[in-house]
Amino acid sequence: MDKIIITGGKRLSGTIPISGAKNSALTLLPCALLTDEPLTLRNLPRLADIDGFQHLLNQFGVSTTIAGNRPGDFGRVMTLEAPRITSSVAPYELVRKMRASILVLGPMLARMGEATVSLPGGCAIGNRPIDLHLKVLEALGAEIEMAAGYVRARAPDGGLPGGRYSFPVVSVGATENALMAAVLASGKSTLHNAAREPEIVDLCKLLVAMGAQIEGIGTSDITIHGVPRLHGATYRVMSDRIEAGSYACAAAITGGEITLQHAVIEEMEATVQALRDAGVTVEPVKEGIHVAADGPLRAVNLSTAPYPGFATDMQAQLMALLCRAEGTSVLNETIFENRYMHVPELGRMGANIETSGRTAIVQGVAQLTGAEVMATDLRASMSLVIAGLAAEGETQVHRLYHLDRGYERLEEKLALVGAQVERVGGD
Ligand code: EPZ
């Protein structure tokens, strides 16, 4: 397995191109199932999870072609065509590797009138149930049954009628499945307390470009008027606000100054506010967002929350930054039950963090020291990289496959702004 070796202490400076958003791409890709016409997605990030989803779609009979682009480019153009669906089953061996596979349930049900998807199971950060996905699809008229670790959804003859559902908990994935099922329903559907993440807006904009009729985009009350069919489209995936926030923390912890090219400040206001509260200068510029940390870092108290609150996907990265702030920060992780696995690893680098349940108390320290550390999940591994960039000496981050799921060519991007990083294989 690969590892990354970071020699800390280099001040980051320059420009990092931000890639397409992983968490948008993973819900835009299954939209190919909703039409028999070609769907072309631009600015797709080169990530393991995207490759995995492409493979899953291929085994439904969806053809995928990658348009030529220069090897040095970040991102890819992919055209997906699904004139015929040859299977409506998402098997365990594919789903267990990538829980976002559950996002084929809604579109497959809408297209084929039935879908069978292996239960994704939990992951490192929590048991990740899918009860809300199933409840909202039932509300839209689907029959749901569970058997042998699979969920099987069926629409009545004539397709889903549509319906209304009020989410008891905000769920990004369940909102996405609901939207992709409702767009081809025979009637109207309304979703209350729907997720409002920018990735949901990106999905709605693609669906509208394909001919869907959706009102309330970007709000927690969405109305979808079902249409008989959707047509193909060409669409550019939004920039990755979590990748941008991660590199902002990387620059800040080194006292550096970088431009996050293609980042959109309006999509990451809570992250920007947290960085400003920590003493980091963050300003919109023509090509994206400019981040500079030339003074001492300050402690920050915050809780993660559904958008527009502070993103749970940014918690580990901000925590790494706060390890070097003056004072004590208190963080509350309200979304997932086990999202502090980076804490003991940061502790090995000299960080002073106490956790109790969903609360983490971070005492800033004067110096972090490089160490061998283990990535446990995607965002935790990025927090270790961020700490390593500021740590004295050498940090080795093992189990890099976690990082490759969500950060396109990380070591190349960090090298662009002066970091001393090296990827080595086979540890
Ligand atoms: C999406 O996961 C993201 N993944 C996650 O990013 C992100 O952390 C999460 O949204 C929250 O923003 C993708 O978009 C591929 P949820 P998702 O449904 O949809 C509970 C990353 O690092 N819940 O909004 O699975 C759930 O347990 C990943 O890029 C239910 O109880 O998240 C959690 O506590 C990690 N029942 C809360 O809701 C359900 O049926 C929010 O989960 C569904 C969710």
The 10s digit of each residue's pLDDT in 225-235 is 999 999 999 99
Render pLDDT for 118-128 as a digit per residue (tens, 0 to 9).
Answer: 998 777 787 78
Please check the confidence at residue 61 and state whether its pLDDT lies above 80: yes
Work out the average pLDDT over 25-44.
98
Please check the confidence at residue 387 and state whether its pLDDT lies above 80: yes
> Best substitution site from 24, 47, 169, 340 to test ligand 1's pocket, by max atoms within 8 Å of Cβ?
169
- What pLDDT, on the 0 to 100 scale, is given for residue 427? 52
Cα of 400 vs centre of ligand 1, distance in Å, is 22
Phi/psi at 386 (5° precision): -60, -45
CB-count burial class (<10 Å; 0-12, 13-18, 19+) for 157: exposed
- What pLDDT, on the 0 to 100 scale, is given for residue 395? 98
The rounded mean pLDDT for the chain is 96
Please check the confidence at residue 16 and state whether its pLDDT lies above 90: yes
Q: Does domain 3-18+239-424 have CATH number 3.40.50.300?
A: no
Render pLDDT for 256-278 as a digit per residue (tens, 0 to 9).
Answer: 999 999 999 999 999 999 999 99
- pLDDT band of 69, cuts 50, 70, 90: low
Residues β-bridged to residue 345 = none
Q: Where are the alpha helices (DSSP H) in 224-295?
A: 241-253, 269-277
Token pair of 319 as six digits: 């925590």
Atom of ligand 1 nearest to the CA of 176: 19
The model's pTM: 0.97
Measure the CA–CA gap between 174 and 360, rounded to whole angstroms.
28
Q: Is 177 in the pocket of ligand 1 (CB under 6 A)?
A: no
Q: Tell me the domain boundaries of the chain.
A: 3-18+239-424, 22-236
- What pLDDT, on the 0 to 100 scale, is given for residue 314? 98
Work out the average pLDDT over 50-58.
96
Coil, strand, or helix at residue 396?
A: strand
> Which of 169, 160, 213, 159 lies closest to 192, judged by CA?
169
Work out the average pLDDT over 4-19.
97
DSSP letter assigned to residue 309: S
- pLDDT band of 71, cuts 50, 70, 90: low
Measure the CA–CA gap between 16 and 408, rounded to whole angstroms.
11
Region of poorest pLDDT, from 95-99, 160-164, 357-361, 396-400: 95-99
Check for a shared fold between 3-18+239-424 and 22-236. Answer: yes
Atom of ligand 1 nearest to the CA of 126: 27
- What pLDDT, on the 0 to 100 scale, is given for residue 68? 59
The residues annotated with a catalytic role in the active site are: 123
- What pLDDT, on the 0 to 100 scale, is given for residue 360? 98
CATH class as words, domain 22-236: alpha beta
Please check the confidence at residue 422 and state whether its pLDDT lies above 70: yes
Between helix 172-182 and helix 131-139 the angle, nearest 10°, is: 30
Residue located nearest, by CA, to atom 13 of ligand 1: 23
- pLDDT band of 48, cuts 50, 70, 90: very high
Residue located nearest, by CA, to atom 28 of ligand 1: 313
Token pair of 317 as six digits: 């990265």
Cβ pair 254, 391 in contact under 8 A: no
Cα of 390 vs centre of ligand 1, distance in Å, is 30
Query: Of 96 and 361, which is predicted with more confidence?
Result: 361
Cβ pair 154, 108 in contact under 8 A: no
Measure the CA–CA gap between 92 and 94, rounded to whole angstroms.
5
Percent of the chain, pLDDT > 90? 92
Cα of 188 vs centre of ligand 1, distance in Å, is 26
Work out the average pLDDT over 32-59.
96
Atom of ligand 1 nearest to the CA of 123: 35
Please check the confidence at residue 330 and state whether its pLDDT lies above 70: yes
Percent of the chain, pLDDT > 70? 98
Q: Is 270 in the pocket of ligand 1 (CB under 6 A)?
A: no
- What pLDDT, on the 0 to 100 scale, is given for residue 426? 67
**Buried b or exposed e, range 248-263, using 16+ CB within 10 angstroms:** bbbbbbbbbbbbbbbb
Residue located nearest, by CA, to atom 17 of ligand 1: 173
Q: Is 100 in the pocket of ligand 1 (CB under 6 A)?
A: yes
What residue ranges in 21-96 does DSSP mark as E strands? 39-44, 63-67, 76-81, 89-90
